[in-house]
Amino acid sequence: MDARTQTEQIRTDPDLPPVAVLERGPMPASRRVLFTVVAVVGAVAWSVVALVRGEEVNAVWFVFAAVCTYVIAYRFYSRLVEAKLVRPRNDRATPAELHDNAKDFMPTDRRVLFGHHFAAIAGAGPLVGPVLAAQMGYLPGTVWIIVGCVLGGAVQDYLVLSISTRRRGRSLGQMARDELGRFGGVAALIAVFVIMIIIIAVLALVVVNALAESPWGVFSIAMTIPIALFMGVYLRFLRPGKVSEVTVIGVALLLLAIVSGGWVAETQWGQDWFTLSPVALAWWLAAYGFAASVLPVWLLLAPRDYLSTFMKVGVIVLLAVGILIARPEVQAPAVSTFASSGDGPVFAGALFPFLFITIACGALSGFHSLIASGTTPKLLEKESQARPIGYGAMLTESFVAVMALITAVIIDQHLYFAMNAPAGVTGGTPETAAEYVNGLGLSGPPITPGEIERAAESVGEESIVSRTGGAPTLAFGMSQVLSSVFGGSGLAAFWYHFAIMFEALFILTTVDAGTRVARFMLSDSLGNIGGPLRKFRDPSWRVGAWICSVVVVVLWGAILLMGVTDPLGGINTLFPLFGIANQLLAAIALTVVTVVVVKKQLYRWVWIPAVPLVWDLIVTMTASYQKIFSSEPRIGYWAQHRAFQDAKAAGEETFGVATSPEAMDAVIRNTAIQGTLSIIFAVLVVVVVAVAAVVIVRSVRAGGLPTTEEPDEPSRIFAPRGMIPTAAEREVQALWDARERERATTGAGS
């Protein structure tokens, strides 16, 4: 250790060992060398990614650029945020220590809590968004995923976690009400609810698109339900508490389900039973969401969650190792022509603002603020650990998004567009799709229908044309990477369905947990209206639970059905709405954070949350504006609406991609709903931000306002500041361990 480092031990009770260690001093020379090396490697990697053109770019450079940036950002920027805004004090007890009940409040080992928090924030979003964004080339997506996370997403997660920790782990909705007042709070609550509905619907749409007409996929996913039920019963009645044991059994059954899916899909009865149309699948999903919402947690939700956590961590590690070993070459251009023209088939609109809407999770995800408030703060051992957990877990998620982007840019670009362009333009067959993508002016030799067919065959699917939604493309890229490392082309079909299963599992976990959460939000809100509705507040009132579940499922189910049957292709009309919703939630979270910072008069550093907030507002408001007011039918919902209405009024029976009067009516109806939703989202967020602005002005005039932080309570436990304990912290830990041993022996003697 450097001789100039000053160490101070902090005690809150003379009878206890120190509860915290403060270390001050310049960075040791060895560390300076290390960070210099990391910075140089990062700079080289970024230059390769940004400047080299053509086939020479290897995907490994993306990994280096990302990891080096994360290391530097974590060591320097997150420390700045900590020192200037968060100012954690480890001699202060966290809610977990203060209200420890060994259930929802309990001090949890920082490494374990990191795993919990990461598993809760990471879902299908960071996997799907980057795949869709790959239509603009690899560079814009990579830059936004990494820079957006470091300056925006990770800052949001970290700060929300910190302020919630100082408020007994209150939820974002409660904090919005506390800090913004009743009106702003109600607007925030409604916004959270509506946003949740659209997010569930769009994720469900991704699953439907991945599983429709795929008996292999449907069979494997369907099998996860009996597997989860078995695990639930096993844990409840046979061997309570043996969670990892049952998870290992569950994962083994899951792998068996994937393998046997291939056999089932070969048989006639398998094809008859498990080939489902998108509409049928949508109905099944809605039924599943309802069942998951009303069934007890132990039976379905908890075991699924174990499986999903296990798969999440496992697959991400597997993919990272695969990319590093396979070192695939990038096929996509750095910046495609669709970035500026805005007429790409995957989603409409130019790079600004729609790239930042499409890659929502992975760079900045508002949904995380619901996890970072409420759940994780109640488990935090020490305030300073919010940095590795809040900031650190988001960096990890951003890394997952970078890997998802890699899987999309290493596959043949003609194939990429054949998979991701809606059926309305590809025509749905290999012949028409080949003709369509060869006309896009992509680099590389044109694709033949035979090549598209062979690609589908190689992964054990009937067709891969217009399998929109991102999940099939990611699975295709993943199977390419993983089969080149493990098992060769013979296992390509297994890896494809493995990846599909992994994404579907994520999404179903979000769908069932989300339906439940939304159901509770609805019943709480109804109960708060009072009168005869007060009964809804009682969570054990089954009728109320059923009613609220039905309402929630009908809301997202209707949007899902609308997307599934949309003649324009559901993903490219609905995904922007999903992205906007998520980014608006981030705006609400960052607004709450900014208000807290202003109330505490930390004016000099208010830019830390304010810069991502302003950027996010510019992006989402521009996108909302274009979605509502653009006269270009491809972009504006209402322009599309009017175009179809005019066509109908003129007596046309077909118009654009709509080939029947019913299809035209569907477009007219869908665009009206989507346009209305865009308006609702934007208005709610404008209300929240306006209320916040009033509070900020009032606070600045008054010279700061009180916040709702809990009073300080001295801590009586010890834990290291960060992930890795320092030498001085190990010494203190040894004191606590010795004390524990002594108590154990005297306890046994008495």
Q: Which stretch binds another protein (CB under 8 A): 298-306, 434-442, 592-600, 705-713?
A: 298-306
247 binds another protein (CB under 8 A): yes
- Does residue 112 touch another protein according to CB under 8 A? yes
Q: Which CB, 58 or 510, lies closer to another protein?
A: 510
Residue 273, Cβ neighbours under 10 Å: how many?
14
Per CB under 8 A, does 590 bind another protein? no
Residues 6+ apart with CB under 8 A from 180: 188, 591, 592, 595, 688, 691, 692, 695
| Residue in the structure block whose two tokens are 């309305």 | 424
Closest distance of CB 309 from another protein, Å: 7
Which is closer to another protein, CB of 516 or CB of 600? 516
Gap between the terminal Cα atoms of the chain? 43
**Residue closer to another protein (CB basis): 630 or 733:** 733
* The one segment of 108-116, 410-418, 667-675, 708-716 that binds another protein by CB under 8 A: 108-116
Does 301 sit near another protein (CB under 8 A)? yes
User: What is the nearest approach in angstroms of another protein to the Cβ of residue 28?
Assistant: 26
Which stretch, 86-94, 114-122, 446-454, 612-620, contacts another protein (CB under 8 A)?
114-122
Q: Which of 125, 140, 349, 570 binds another protein (CB under 8 A)?
A: 125
Q: Is 704 left (phi over 0), alpha (psi -120 to 50) or beta?
A: left
Smallest distance from the beta carbon of 102 to another protein, in angstroms? 4
- Cα separation, 76 vs 412, in Å, equals 39
Query: Of 456 and 526, which CB lies nearer to another protein in the complex structure?
Result: 526
Q: Output 115 or 262, the one with its CB closest to another protein.
A: 115
Q: Is 348 in the site for another protein (CB under 8 A)?
A: no
Asked, as a colleague might, if the bond just before 353 is cis with ω within 30 of 0, I would say: yes
Sequence-ordered alpha helix ranges (H) in 530-569: 542-565
297 binds another protein (CB under 8 A): yes
Does residue number 589 form part of the binding site for another protein (CB under 8 A)?
no
Indicate which single residue of 120, 501, 592, 598 sits in contact with another protein (rule: CB under 8 A).
120
Among the listed ranges 1-9, 33-41, 101-109, 665-673, the one in contact with another protein (CB under 8 A) is 101-109
Neighbours of 321 (CB within 10 A): 14
Using CB under 8 A as the binding rule, whether residue 199 contacts another protein is answered as yes
Q: Are 145 and 350 in contact (CB under 8 A)?
A: no
For the CB of residue 648, give the shortest distance to another protein in the complex, in Å.
36
Number of Cβ within 10 Å of residue 240's Cβ equals 10
Q: How far is the CB of 352 from another protein (least distance, A)?
A: 23
Residue from 17, 28, 115, 449 touching another protein (CB under 8 A): that is 115
The residue range among 86-94, 296-304, 586-594, 619-627 that interacts with another protein, by the rule CB under 8 A, is 296-304
Dist CA 190 CA 182 (whole Å): 12
Stretch that binds another protein, among 135-143, 337-345, 359-367, 424-432 (CB under 8 A): 359-367
Q: What span, in angstroms and rounded, lies between the C-alpha atoms of 693 and 729?
A: 43
State phi, psi for 101 to the nearest 5 degrees.
-125, 10
Near another protein in 558-577, by CB under 8 A: none
In DSSP notation, 237-269 reads IISTT-HHHHHHHHHHHHHHHHHHHHHHHHSHH
Q: Is 125 exposed, middle or buried (0-12, 13-18, 19+ CB in 10 A)?
A: buried
Give the H/E segment covering residue 48. helix 29-51
Nearest approach in angstroms of CB 226 to another protein is 19
Q: Which residues contact 508 (CB under 8 A, 6 or more apart)?
A: 207, 221, 224, 288, 304
* Closest distance to another protein from the beta carbon of 203 (Å): 6
What are the structure tokens assigned to 313, written together?
A: 């961590």
Q: Is 13 in the site for another protein (CB under 8 A)?
A: no
Residue 88 or 579 with smaller CB distance to another protein: 579
* Residue 389 DSSP label: I
- CA–CA separation, 232 and 223 (whole Å): 14
* Residue 584 found at the interface with another protein (CB under 8 A): no
Least distance CB 104 / another protein (angstroms) = 7
Strand partners, 108: 380
204 binds another protein (CB under 8 A): no
Q: Yes or no: say if 183 and 691 are a contact pair by the CB < 8 Å rule.
A: yes
Helix H or strand E segment including 7? strand 6-10
Instruction: Give the x/- contact pattern for another protein in 511-550, rule: CB under 8 A.
Output: --xx-xx-xx------------------xx----------
- What region does 460 belong to: left with phi over 0, alpha with psi -120 to 50, or beta? left
Does residue 116 touch another protein according to CB under 8 A?
yes
Q: Under rule CB under 8 A, how many of the chain's residues touch another protein?
A: 58
* Nearest Cα residue to 41 out of 61, 14, 20: 61
| Spatial contact of 571 and 422, defined as CB atoms under 8 Å apart | yes
**What does the alpha-carbon distance between residue 537 and residue 676 come to, in Å, rounded to a whole number?**
30
**In this chain, which of 122, 176, 379, 418 binds another protein, going by CB under 8 A?**
122
Q: How far is the CB of 714 from another protein (least distance, A)?
A: 17
CA distance linking residue 216 with residue 514, whole number of Å: 26
Closest CA to 338 of 330, 356, 354, 350: 350
Taking CB under 8 A as the criterion, the residue among 368, 382, 467, 599 binding another protein is 368
Q: 17 or 28, CB closer to another protein?
A: 17
- DSSP 8-state symbol, 377: G
Residue 602 CA to residue 147 CA, distance in Å, equals 24
Please give the residues from 655 up to 714 whose contact with another protein meets the rule CB under 8 A: none
Q: In the set 302, 350, 423, 628, which binds another protein (CB under 8 A)? A: 302
**Among 73-81, 161-169, 237-245, 401-409, the segment contacting another protein (CB under 8 A):** 237-245
Beta-bridge partners for 7: 23
627 binds another protein (CB under 8 A): no
What is the contact surface with another protein in residues (CB under 8 A)?
Answer: 100-104, 106, 109, 111-112, 115-116, 120-125, 199, 203, 235-237, 240-245, 247, 296-298, 301-302, 305-306, 309-310, 361, 365, 367-368, 370-371, 374-375, 509-510, 513-514, 516-517, 519-520, 539-540, 578, 582
